Structure 1
Amino acid sequence: MSSLIAKYNVPGPRYTSYPTVPFWNTADFNRYDWQQRLTSAFATSNYTAGISLYIHLPYCESLCTFCGCNKRITRNHGVEEPYVGALLDEWAMYCEWLPERPRLAELHLGGGTPSFFSTHQLRRLLMGIFRYADVVDEPDFGWEGHPNNTSYDHLKTLYEFGFRRVSFGVQDYDLVVQQAIHRHQPFANVRRVTEQAREIGYTSISHDLVFGLPFQQVSSIQDTVKQTLSLRPDRISFYSYAHVPWIKGNGQRGFRDEDLPNGDQKRDLYETGRALFEAGGYTEIGMDHFALPHDSLRKAMKAGTLHRNFMGYTTTRTDVIIGLGASSISDVGTAFMQNEKSIDTYLTEIEANQLPILRGHLLTDDDVKIRQLILDIMCRFQTSWSITDWTGEEWALLTSQLDDLRDDGLLDYDTTGLRVRSEGRPFLRNICMVFDRYLTSSPVLATPVFSQTV
């Protein structure tokens, strides 16, 4: 394993999309084409499957120095009202385009810190969303809460609007690690919100943990997992810390690079956690996730219906994902679009009744094909193809790379497809990179972009 980590621990995408954002062809993207592809996808899928809606709530009261999300740090809660107003104005713009009322199949509130917002503003937001939309019979609504500021009223209010999933950011209970990442969060707070959510009736409670953090030791992972298992969350996200300090404003200069575990140490942290989760009755789901047998994520993986999008792993697959808010990303199957990342610019453009487009990408037929291959690998650890899908030159290049992965014991493949071995799951991103035409054909990016794959 040590030699494989040394070989494969390279910068690489996490593949929440394909192509990945740095390789989007923004030169050929415009609002007209985006609107046409959105309305086309909507017209063919809204009635049968509904749509997904992601809402980005970017504010936090304090900076966590492990976080690479788009956020703004403030204790001024006066920002809530104008931001919610802008979200509702943006939603109204979309609904004016659409030929019929959207049917919401999936709704997710992310951040930032959604629990930064008062229940009054969250209620105002959701009432405004549902004013223009209907809901499918069995929707999947989820949100992210900070254990330190999530109240019973937050949980109850969102439950009343149909939310049945909630995820709480835990990261690590070790005080040394918490000090380094500026995330002071006692176990008592996590226990409180977990028990309250369960009491109210949430059917899927998730705890988000991170491995590879500064000063993290095997002992701290063992202690964190032990405390997590005592609360028995339905799902657990066990993420690899993505060290990307070159991204402006993400705060990842709060510790030194040498404070981080190296590749071998980082893998030990993961394997320690995984063994404890599996011993506790959890099953590994895709990449970085675990779930108990009754959870819908586990059932979806078993049934082969697990899906992955910009919101992560999900049981819901729709042809249309609309992202509202600063930096949010929309996906209509054949096109991606990202909103302005600057909150001030976002607010200004919404006030001017302009869709706040930062960039986008219109997928080619080849993009769609490769996207599905990568999605299959990420969700099912296998994929299939026909030999006629590849030119002779493409197949020769692909097999030379796959042979190397097979020789290292990571996968098996033939002319009909591939299957990832259990030994290959730690290197899932590396396997997907073999199919990424943009990584191999595009010029080298001028600045670092991706975190290490291990």
Structure 2
Amino acid sequence: MNALIQKYNVPGPRYTSYPTVPFWDDSTFSETAWVRNLRRAFSVSNSTTGISLYIHLPYCESLCTFCGCNKRITRNHNVEGPYIDALLTEWNTYCDLLQSAGSERPRIAELHLGGGTPSFFSPDQLNRLLTGIFSQATPAESTDYGWEGHPNNTTREHLQTLYDFGFRRVSFGVQDYDPKVQRAIHRIQPFENVKQVTDWARQIGYTSISHDLVFGLPFQTADTITDTIYKTLTLRPDRIAFYSYAHVPWIEGVNGQRGFQDKDLPTGDQKRILYETGRDLLEQAGYVEIGMDHFALPHDSLYKALENKTLHRNFMGYTTTQTRLLLGLGASSISDVWSAFAQNEKDLDTYINRANAGELPLLRGHVLDDQDQFLRRQILNIMCQGQTQWPLGSWSRKEWEVLSARLESFWLDGLLDYDVEGLRVHSEGRPFLRNICMAFDERLNYAQPQTRLFSQTV
């Protein structure tokens, strides 16, 4: 395994989309093209599955030095109201666009509040946000609503407020319980805080509670990971996200990741040990590994989606709900209508000003051509099901020669089987899903970037 880690530990995307954001072609994108694709997706999705909605809440009271998310650090809670105003104005702008075409009210099947720290916002402000959202929308027949809470500032009132709007999933960011690791990543939170919010969520009636854990953090060892996993198992969350730390300090806006030195980080081989230690403990406790980075108990909907082959992956990660339209609201949010992507302004003040002016606060986007959509389907199948099939004749002779040459290395290493109709990843290949998907990534392979764009795959 060490030889494979050394061979495949290269920078690579996490494939929450294809094409990945660095390879979007802005020349194909315009607001007119975006609205046309948006309306087409809405007409298909809303009347069948409903739509998905992601709302980015970017404020945090303190900086976690492992975090690469778009955020603003402040203890000034007066920022809550103006940001909620901008979100609701953006939502109303979209609703006017969609309903001007004679469409029915949006039916929200999937709703997620991410950040940043959603629990930075008071329950009253979250109530105002969701009241405004549902003033122009209705829940779909089947819903999956979730949000992310910080164990240190999530109150029972936060949990109850969102539960009353139909939220049944909550994810608590734990990362690691070791004091030395917590100090290094500037994320100090005692086990007692995590236990308290987990107990509250269960008492209120949440049916899927998730804990986020990260391996590969500075100063982590097999012993500290073991202790963190054991503590987590005493609370038995329904899901566990067990992520590889993405060290990307070169990306603009994540300079906080320079809060520790590279020598403090585990090597690729050491990270693999951390992952395998955690995975083995979780599987022994009855959790099932799902896709990449996720584990769930058999009663959880994420596991059932895997079994039913309905597991999906988008900019929110793995999800049990697949709609044709994912609308992202807020600074830096990304929307996905299958045939096109669009990202909002990243700069918070620019986003607020443009949203309040009644504009679509778009920064960039990409319209997918036929090849993009075909390759996207293959990558999505691999990430969600560990296998994919394609019709005979999908590749020209030259294309197949190129793809086959890329896949042969994985086959020789015993990581997958493939033929002219598809491929299947072996259990030994699961740790290298990102690498396998890279074989299909024509935009990445064509560009051959000379600068680092992604975190290491191991």
TM class by smaller structure = over 0.9
Cα offset, 1:416, TM superposition: 1.3
Which of 199, 209, 219 aligns to 2:213? It is 209
1:19-64 CA-to-partner distances (Å, cap 9, x unmatched) read 0000000122100000000001111221111000000000000000
Secondary structure in structure 1 of the residue aligned to 2:327: strand
| Alignment partner of 1:342 is 2:351 | no
Q: 1:249-398 counterparts in 2 under 5 A?
A: 249-250=253-254, 251-398=256-403
Identify the residue that residue 52 of structure 2 maps to in structure 1. 52
Q: Measure, in 2, the Cα distance between the counterparts of 1:323 and 1:180.
A: 32
Secondary structure in structure 1 of the residue aligned to 2:88: helix
Identify the residue that residue 20 of structure 1 maps to in structure 2. 20
Cα offset, 1:249, TM superposition: 2.7
Identify the residue that residue 192 of structure 2 maps to in structure 1. 188
Identify the residue that residue 94 of structure 2 maps to in structure 1. 94
Q: 1:72-83 counterparts in 2 under 5 A?
A: 72-83=72-83
Gaps of 5+ in 2: none
Q: Measure, in 2, the Cα distance between the counterparts of 1:413 and 1:29.
A: 35
Q: Measure, in 1, the Cα distance between the counterparts of 2:174 and 2:44.
A: 40
| Mean CA deviation greater in 349-358 or 70-79 | 349-358
- Give the partner amino acid of 2:232: T
Residues 331, 351 of structure 2: 8 Å contact kept = yes
Identify the residue that residue 172 of structure 2 maps to in structure 1. 168
Cα offset, 1:351, TM superposition: 2.1
1:283-321 CA-to-partner distances (Å, cap 9, x unmatched) read 000000000010000011011110000001011000000
Which of 228, 236, 240 aligns to 1:232? It is 236
Which of 408, 411, 428 aligns to 1:406? It is 411
Secondary structure in structure 2 of the residue aligned to 1:387: coil
1:112-166 CA-to-partner distances (Å, cap 9, x unmatched) read 0000000010000000000000111221000000000000000000000100000
Q: Measure, in 2, the Cα distance between the counterparts of 1:181 and 1:324.
A: 28
Secondary structure in structure 1 of the residue aligned to 2:259: coil
Identify the residue that residue 181 of structure 2 maps to in structure 1. 177
Identify the residue that residue 84 of structure 1 maps to in structure 2. 84
Which of 141, 156, 162 aligns to 1:158? It is 162
Secondary structure in structure 1 of the residue aligned to 2:229: helix
Q: Measure, in 2, the Cα distance between the counterparts of 1:196 and 1:118.
A: 17
Identify the residue that residue 113 of structure 1 maps to in structure 2. 117
Q: Measure, in 2, the Cα distance between the counterparts of 1:203 and 1:351.
A: 36
Identity of aligned residues (%): 68
| Alignment partner of 1:246 is 2:250 | yes
Cα offset, 1:402, TM superposition: 1.0
Which of 92, 117, 122 aligns to 2:126? It is 122
- Give the partner amino acid of 1:6: Q
Residues 90, 356 of structure 2: 8 Å contact kept = no
Identify the residue that residue 9 of structure 2 maps to in structure 1. 9
Cα offset, 1:248, TM superposition: 2.1
Q: 1:439-454 counterparts in 2 under 5 A?
A: 439-442=444-447, 444-445=449-450, 447-454=451-458
Identify the residue that residue 37 of structure 1 maps to in structure 2. 37
Q: Measure, in 1, the Cα distance between the counterparts of 2:144 and 2:180.
A: 37
Residues 13, 434 of structure 2: 8 Å contact kept = yes
Q: Measure, in 2, the Cα distance between the counterparts of 1:21 and 1:414.
A: 30
1:203-241 CA-to-partner distances (Å, cap 9, x unmatched) read 000000000000000000000000000000000000000
1:73-130 CA-to-partner distances (Å, cap 9, x unmatched) read 0000000000000000000000001122100000000000000000010000000000
Q: Measure, in 1, the Cα distance between the counterparts of 2:418 and 2:91.
A: 45
Number of positions where the alignment pairs a residue of Structure 1 with one of Structure 2: 453
CA-atom RMSD in angstroms: 0.7
Which of 133, 139, 160 aligns to 2:137? It is 133
- Give the partner amino acid of 1:452: Q
Q: Measure, in 2, the Cα distance between the counterparts of 1:444 and 1:264.
A: 25
Q: Measure, in 1, the Cα distance between the counterparts of 2:448 and 2:307.
A: 40
| Mean CA deviation greater in 245-254 or 322-331 | 245-254
Residues 392, 420 of structure 2: 8 Å contact kept = yes
Cα offset, 1:366, TM superposition: 0.4
Identify the residue that residue 145 of structure 1 maps to in structure 2. 149
Q: Measure, in 1, the Cα distance between the counterparts of 2:346 and 2:276.
A: 35
Q: Measure, in 1, the Cα distance between the counterparts of 2:436 and 2:155.
A: 42
Cα offset, 1:443, TM superposition: 5.1
Secondary structure in structure 2 of the residue aligned to 1:389: coil
Residues 325, 337 of structure 2: 8 Å contact kept = yes
